[in-house]
Amino acid sequence: EEGIPVPFLVELGVQTADGQVVHAKYDKFRQINRFLEFIEDVLPKLDRDRESVILDFGCGKSYLTFAMYYYFRELKKLDVNIIGLDLKEDVIAICNGLAEKYGYEKLHFYQGDIASYTGRDEVDMVVTLHACDTATDYALEKAVKWNAKVILSVPCCQHEVNAQLKNDRMQPIFKYGIIKERMAALMTDALRANLLEQAGYETQILEFIELEHTPKNLLIRAVKTDKKQGNMDAYKKVCDEFGISTTLARLQEHEGMTV
């Protein structure tokens, strides 16, 4: 809540020492609370009787990673072990320093790449926020492979489908670059959601934060059900119609996750 100082938010410059939100950081504060609302909806999916492992791919400065830890452990009294992964070694060092400073014993940050990460065999929840282009696909594939109970993903910079998108009947629309780019981004997320459904997840695409705050405003939320949904034939027809081949589909086919 605004007016209640949270140590890491003060340290990161989002709040003042008395808990007031810094004006220039108000969008960040709203983004954090909006993200925690999505998490609150899926809390029943996490086991209260044991430690839950949460992995944040591409954690960056880790505003939301710290927020998750504070929310789960301080507010909800859940036993969670949160791991943040990012390519920037200097950022990782700062985040580990803050975690140690505040006594966050089950919050750790590591330098590494999403595609090659092998640090855990089981993960209960995977978070990936603004992982660029196909990095999101690698994160989703690992989440599915781990049978993660919950996946929360806000994709970014979706170039793969845009570079492939072709359809003669749609040429009057696709000839406008910005229109094609936006349609490609929407199609990318919809195709990802379909593949997650095929892997046994109940999947939604939701507005993460209002569009005026960031264009990266769609969140894919997937909850494990073990019941395959969707129609793979229909998925393939769309891909054939528009000349699309996606990284997530190839990764899942390699793992034998799709037909």
For 103-162, how does the pLDDT look when each residue is reduced to its tens digit (9 = 90+)? 999 999 999 888 888 888 899 999 998 778 888 999 999 999 999 999 999 988 889 999
Question: What pLDDT does residue 223 have?
Answer: 96
Residues 8-23 have pLDDT tens digits of 899 888 999 999 999 9
Question: At 16, phi and psi to the nearest 5?
Answer: -85, 170
For range 196-213, the mean pLDDT: 82
Full-model pTM = 0.90
Q: Which of 106, 100, 90, 25 is nearest to 63 (CA)?
A: 25
For range 235-253, the mean pLDDT: 94
Give the pairing type, strands 201-207 and 218-224. Answer: antiparallel
Whether the pLDDT of residue 197 is over 60: the answer is yes
Q: Which of 101, 35, 46 is nearest to 73 (CA)?
A: 46
60 falls in which pLDDT band (50, 70, 90)? confident
